[in-house]
Structure 1
């Protein structure tokens, strides 16, 4: 399909985290995608928090959007977004979906349970089905949201897309299997795929860590914290889709995180200040440990995504 840029403008900042409040629009350069014959179609697999933030962005640049989730409800369908019921761990779901033409597929899954088997069923199995069902030499772009937990570094080193992936958790191992299944399978079919490894996602509905800091139960450890707001992650997906359909060649992997990680007490100090607490008092009372923990200790670089033109909204 042929796409053109119909217009180009800048719109205001999306709310990008739960301790920096902003308006409802997303602050990044964008244009509108038009196609010679018909409106381009986007399929959002796992229509949850991130996908529901992404959907209006895609509509804004010209896509017709369909979302797939296990149990749709009336609240999911608004502003022209069609939401369907579907279990993407089942081959039959994909067989039906692939009978329709899709220009863009965005995959934002959640596990059936927080275990290695839950991650296998929630991530690996759906990607096996997608690879099997997507036609050879498809023009479809697949954007897949993974996690930076595929990196197991523990010494505070800087990590980018070229860094070694040796997950320290069994769940991270399954995420890496899902990535490789999708990337290798689609590249063999000469399809288009980009994997977005997200840092810890925060924002409305994701306040568990903030509550722990507020309640004095959060343990301060000597590790780096790498975060991204849910709106910034959705904006990164929109940005990559737009880049692709305007003719840019995407890299296979991108890290999505904020510009600067925060270390140990600095992270707690930052959050405490944002939610109106006395940071010094919070830090003094908080439990502390020198244990790095299973999640490791690393500093993530978003240089590749930044250099592609993506604009972060957080300060």
Structure 2
């Protein structure tokens, strides 16, 4: 799909996603941030507040009259004092912009944290969402808001990414130190695979209802297996939630769930990094424990 594109949130994920979009033939990419962040190579930066949607007149004037595609990679900023309310506010703003700019395709990157399971159970896109905290409620409200923009002429897709990692975001230290309880099921998304998934679903036709996909490597792994692969030793004791929180390495309420991405795979998408072990190797880490097992 060619034409103008808008990338909202050009951060660690959004900036390379914008560059990937810009490399496509006949695509002009604008990147939107509140802080006036420099544009990634091949893109044009615009400044604005996505939560204001079409009420941000300066933003509308800075953009072309029509924007064929919008990709959303927003996250709350602790430096700005944002709360999780940023998610639904941004989604509502994007829905407004999509209508004002006659957008034909919207991709919204959400989180598999929305499932919030703690018992190691398997989850997929049909799993019931039961908000028990502000974060899950905000994630759900945001997805509902962005899905409201779907029409027979506008494709809207939500990608729920899990455990994002890659260059510049390396989970090795946390797992080598066994800071995640050993029995915890962990799920991962290599950054470039999420970027590839964005382009993949962007090409899907509109259905009038919107689409939802989990976006992971589809290989859940227990934390103890990652620790053993990195160190050659099995972790002996689980880390208590209080110890993990004090260390700053593990988010309070970390999920323990096995996420299926079969629905996305059935559309023909194939992740290039098949599991966390391959990803760790690409980040330059030796896996002595994995070699011993094999």
In structure 1, the partner of 2:104 is 140
TM-score by length of 2: 0.77
Aligned residue number for residue 230 of structure 1: 191
SS in 1 for 2:268: coil
CA distance in 2 between counterparts of 1:158 and 1:205 reads: 29
Aligned to 1:283: 235
Cα distance, 1:115–1:163 mapped onto 2, change above 3 Å: farther
Inter-CA distance 136–55: structure 2 relative to 1 (3 Å threshold)? closer
Match of 1:312 in 2: 271
Give the CA RMSD over aligned residues. 3.2
Instruction: Measure, in 1, the Cα distance between the counterparts of 2:218 and 2:160.
Output: 15
Pairing of 1:97-246 with structure 2 (within 5 A): 97=60, 100-113=65-78, 118-120=83-85, 122-135=86-99, 138-183=102-147, 185-187=148-150, 191-207=154-170, 209-214=171-176, 216=177, 218-244=179-205
Distance 2:218 2:174 in 1: 24
* CA distance in 2: counterparts of 1:87 and 1:307, whole angstroms: 36
34, 41, 48: which one aligns with 1:70: 34
1:289 offset after TM fit, Å?
4.5
Distance in 2 (CA, whole Å) between partners of 1:40 and 1:123 is 27
TM-score w.r.t. the length of structure 1 is 0.72
For the 8 Å contact 1:94–1:129, the answer to whether it is kept is: no
SS at match of 1:186: coil
Report SS of the residue matched to 2:270: coil
1:28 maps to what in 2? none
Using the alignment, how far apart are the partners of 1:95 and 1:182 within structure 2? 22
Taking the aligned partners of 1:164 and 1:94, their CA distance within structure 2 comes to 38
How far did 1:112 drift?
2.8
- Runs of 5+ in structure 2 lacking a partner? 245-251, 275-294
Tell me the residue number matched to 1:25. Answer: none
**Gapped runs of 5+ residues in structure 1?**
1-32, 34-38, 273-277
Q: Please tell me whether the aligned partners of residues 104 and 140 of structure 1 are also in contact (alpha carbons under 8 angstroms).
A: yes
- Alignment check: 8 A CA contact 1:94 1:130 kept: no
State the SS of the aligned residue for 1:90: helix
Is contact 1:202-1:230 (8 Å) kept?
yes
Q: 1:137 to 1:212 in 2, by over 3 A?
A: closer
User: 1:89–1:139: structure 2 CA closer, same or farther, 3 Å change rule?
Assistant: closer
Matching residue of 2:48: 86
1:268 is aligned to 2:227: yes
Change (3 A) 1:225 1:115: farther
Partner of 1:256: 215
Change (3 A) 1:219 1:54: closer
Greater RCO structure (CA 8 Å; 6+ sep): 1
- 1:313–1:188 CA distance, 2 compared to 1 (3 A): closer
Q: Distance in 2 between matches of 1:152 and 1:115?
A: 26
CA positional deviation for 1:72: 3.6
Q: Give the SS at the match of 2:19.
A: helix
Query: Could you say which residue in structure 1 is the equivalent of 2:248?
Result: none
Q: 1:287 to 1:193 in 2, by over 3 A?
A: same
> How far 1:52 moved relative to its partner?
1.8
Separation in 2 of the partners of 1:73 and 1:170? Answer: 28
